[in-house]
Structures are given as C-alpha cells and as structure tokens.
Structure 1
Amino acid sequence: MTQLDELIARAREHKMTASERRLQRVSLIMGLRGHSSTLTRDKVEEILDETEGREAHAA
C-alpha cells in the first residue's frame, strides 16, 4: 500500500467533529457568496449561531 493509499484510507475512516462540520459550513457559505457580497465570515458565524440556537460564537 502506498503512502497515498494509506492517507486515503485514513480520510475515509475519519469522523468529522461538530467543530470541523461548522468550519466546513462557514467555508461553503463564504465560497458560494457572490463577488460583490459584503457578507463577512463573522456575520456568517453570527447567523449560524442564531439559526442553530447557540450563543454568539467567540471571535
């Protein structure tokens, strides 16, 4: 098994944490926004906090 195969196998078995999922969600939203968007990462996190019923995310 090559080193690449081993890395792929490890990645397949990895269970994402809630924190990792949140970071990916923020990243996805930032990537989908238009070029002229003024939406900031902080605002995305604030909106996610509100929709998920969390207290404000610490900066």
Structure 2
Amino acid sequence: MSGNYGEKVRNFLSESRRVLLVTKKPSWKEYKLAAKITGLGMIVIGTIGLLITVISYLITGTGL
C-alpha cells in the first residue's frame, strides 16, 4: 500500500514539474486584459445580485 502512495506522489510531482516548465510569465498587456475581464465579471455579478435584491424587496416589501 505504501508503494502505491509513493508512486502517486512521484506522478504528481512529475506532472507539476512539467506544467511549471510549460508556463510563462504573462506580459503587462496580458495582465491588464485579465484584470479588466475580472473586474468586469465582478461588476456584472454584483449588478445581478443588486437587481435580485431590489426585485425581492419590491415583491415582498421587506428587506433581507
């Protein structure tokens, strides 16, 4: 049983090393684009939550 765990750990470390060798640091342009997309997503999700809260308040007449 112990050998099975050892092999799983070795496989995990090997796969992790392979992934780290393939990855690269994003350029400043890529970083800014990811930040903009993330911010836009947060705004959209927040707006949806606000609309649900307002509609709930209008329907029930009580706050959450």
* TM-score where L is the length of structure 2: 0.37
Higher-helix-fraction structure? 2
Mark the structure with the bigger radius of gyration.
2
